[in-house]
């Protein structure tokens, strides 16, 4: 069902949107390079006491899909229902396109979507993907759509469960909240985790949705796929339900695999790759953290396990790697710490209290942190330590969605609303 409608904007200050760069974009999970590190104009080094200026704010709905931005449009997914752990949710979800300058709805596509176990937050969980004029989305129940991003017209659709026999849910978790893996583009294909014998991962042709390849017999996980280059060979890294897997993105052949088992299929963080050929993967529960040194010997990928620690656990949301250092929230259901971790040795340089689970991005030499409790925090971080530059409360409900920065405009959401904030220096507003 395609419905075009406009809802009231709660707060609207159009004149402040001028700081946005019209040619900037955020087209996939993780931003331009899928690593949450972006080039930007100069940003403010501090904020007013009440936080950065709000350009606009509007109600949206529950869900954890990140916000994409391109050509003056924003794209995300949501469901109508309770923002709390107890409540009711509509048995449908929506893909929505918004005007980036005002927040007004440009088009919306709503389809049936079964409620799963939403004890820790309702779906949709997956972040869409833009390639050219197409928008690709995967819903809570593995509904895979390709849209015309300008009009919302459906170009093709797969129900991964009924069309390919994919398991409806992961096999071992106690809490089964639905699909959460964010797809990736490679050449003319879209690659995503699917699940089922011989099709842990599948590649689809972008133009018509036809199957290009199927590969893998490992358990399905929720971590976004990433692309790396090992000594000149492109490889697809899939953190599955119990293993870290390297695949040929052209054919789906599994090139190597290492056990990484949380005991419940809930591997949710992507692998972080660096110029030193070290792949860092961290998960909660029983999995812990792995650092793998990869190298190519002829056609064979050699995998050296540099170190492993069960105590070091980055539970979910995103982390950022700069050189040999990873920055993120260490901890599960107990105390949490922001930490800087050396990927070569596994040793933390420091740990800092004052944060819950966070999502974050890096721009203009600063880290923009979205704490799960609704605080937006501006910091600098290095192996020498962390300095908090500014903090503002921007949300009233849990925020498990990484913000999106386009120019100097930050787009962020919680389980009730979506906002646009001006992070530019005051002299440039």
Confidence class for position 278, pLDDT limits 50, 70, 90: very high
Query: For position 12, what pLDDT does the model report?
Result: 36
Distance, in Å, from the CA atom of 336 to the CA atom of 166, rounded to the nearest integer, reads 35
Q: What percentage of the chain exceeds 90 in pLDDT?
A: 79
pLDDT above 50: residue 240:
yes
Q: Which helix (H) or strand (E) holds 237?
A: strand 233-239
pLDDT, tens digit, 9 for 90 and up, residues 26-62: 999 999 999 999 999 999 999 998 999 999 999 999 9
pLDDT, tens digit, 9 for 90 and up, residues 342-386: 999 999 999 999 898 999 999 999 999 999 999 999 999 999 999
pLDDT above 90: residue 266:
no
Distance, in Å, from the CA atom of 346 to the CA atom of 359, rounded to the nearest integer, reads 21
Q: Which residue from 312, 320, 304 is spatially nearest to 270, judged by alpha carbons?
A: 320
At CA 140, angle to CA 260 and CA 215, rounded to 5? 45
Query: For position 211, what pLDDT does the model report?
Result: 98
Q: Domain containing 205: what range?
A: 2-428
pLDDT above 80: residue 315:
no
Q: Average pLDDT in the 257-270 region?
A: 89
Q: Average pLDDT in the 11-36 region?
A: 65
Q: How far is CA 94 from the centre of its chain?
A: 18
Contact between residue 11 and residue 57 where contact means Cβ atoms under 8 Å apart: yes
Distance, in Å, from the CA atom of 7 to the CA atom of 103, rounded to the nearest integer, reads 9
pLDDT, tens digit, 9 for 90 and up, residues 391-417: 999 999 999 999 999 999 999 999 999
How many folded domains does the chain comprise? 1
Query: For position 385, what pLDDT does the model report?
Result: 96
Return the structure tokens found at 351. 């740990």
Confidence class for position 205, pLDDT limits 50, 70, 90: very high
Query: For position 120, what pLDDT does the model report?
Result: 86
Query: For position 9, what pLDDT does the model report?
Result: 34
pLDDT above 60: residue 5:
no
Distance, in Å, from the CA atom of 203 to the CA atom of 196, rounded to the nearest integer, reads 14
Q: Is the dihedral of CA 423, 393, 181, 334 positive or negative?
A: positive
Q: Which residue from 152, 20, 11 is spatially nearest to 75, judged by alpha carbons?
A: 152
Query: For position 264, what pLDDT does the model report?
Result: 87
pLDDT above 60: residue 16:
no
Q: Which residue has the higher pLDDT, 423 or 332?
A: 423
pLDDT, tens digit, 9 for 90 and up, residues 162-189: 999 999 988 888 888 899 999 999 999 9
Distance, in Å, from the CA atom of 295 to the CA atom of 230, rounded to the nearest integer, reads 6
Contact between residue 144 and residue 106 where contact means Cβ atoms under 8 Å apart: no
- The region, left, alpha or beta by phi > 0 then psi within -120 to 50, assigned to residue 26 is beta
Distance, in Å, from the CA atom of 360 to the CA atom of 404, rounded to the nearest integer, reads 9
| Cβ-based neighbours of 101, under 8 Å, separated by 6 or more | 14, 17, 20, 72
Q: Average pLDDT in the 213-234 region?
A: 95
Q: Average pLDDT in the 111-120 region?
A: 92
Kindly report the CATH number assigned to the domain that includes residue 133: 2.130.10.10
Q: What is the overall mean pLDDT for the chain?
A: 91
């Amino acid at each position: 069902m395609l419905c075009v409608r406009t809802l009231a904007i709660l707060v609207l200050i159009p004149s402040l949107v001028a700081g946005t760069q019209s040619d900037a974009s955020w087209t996939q999970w993780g931003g331009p390079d899928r690593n949450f590190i972006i080039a930007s104009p100069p940003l403010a080094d501090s904020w007013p006491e009440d936080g950065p200026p709000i350009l606009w704010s509007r109600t949206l709905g529950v869900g954890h899909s990140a916000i994409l931005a391109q050509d003056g449009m924003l794209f995300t997914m949501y469901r109508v229902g309770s923002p709390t752990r107890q409540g009711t949710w509509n048995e449908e979800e929506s893909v929505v396109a918004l005007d980036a300058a005002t927040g007004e709805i440009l088009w919306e596509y709503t389809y049936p979507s079964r409620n799963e176990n939403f004890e820790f937050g309702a779906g949709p969980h997956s972040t869409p993907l833009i390639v050219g004029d197409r928008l690709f989305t995967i819903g809570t129940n593995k509904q895979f759509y390709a849209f015309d991003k300008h009009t919302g017209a459906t170009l093709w659709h797969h129900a991964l469960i009924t069309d390919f026999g994919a398991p409806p849910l992961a096999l071992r978790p106690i809490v089964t909240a639905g699909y959460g893996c964010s797809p990736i583009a490679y050449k003319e294909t879209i690659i995503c985790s699917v699940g089922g014998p011989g099709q842990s991962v599948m590649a689809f042709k972008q133009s018509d949705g036809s199957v290009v390849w199927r590969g893998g017999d490992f358990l399905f996980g929720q971590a976004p796929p990433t692309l790396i280059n090992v000594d000149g060979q492109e490889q697809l890294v899939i953190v599955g339900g119990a293993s870290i897997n390297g695949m040929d993105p052209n054919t789906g052949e599994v090139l190597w695999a290492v056990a990484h088992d949380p005991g419940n299929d809930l591997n949710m963080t992507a692998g972080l790759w660096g110029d030193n050929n070290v792949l860092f993967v961290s998960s909660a529960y029983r999995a812990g953290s792995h650092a793998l040194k990869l190298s190519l010997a002829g056609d064979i990928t050699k995998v050296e396990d540099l170190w492993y620690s069960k105590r070091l656990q980055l539970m979910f949301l995103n982390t950022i790697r700069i050189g040999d250092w990873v920055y993120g929230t260490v901890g599960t259901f107990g105390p949490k710490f922001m930490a800087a971790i050396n990927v070569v040795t596994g040793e933390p340089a420091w740990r800092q209290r004052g944060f819950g689970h966070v999502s974050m991005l890096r721009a203009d030499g600063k880290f923009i942190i979205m704490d799960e409790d609704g605080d937006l925090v501006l910091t600098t971080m290095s192996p020498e330590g962390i300095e908090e530059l500014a903090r503002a409360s921007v949300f009233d409900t849990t925020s498990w969605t990484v913000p999106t920065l386009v120019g100097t405009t930050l787009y962020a959401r919680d389980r009730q609303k979506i906002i646009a904030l001006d992070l530019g220096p005051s002299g440039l507003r």
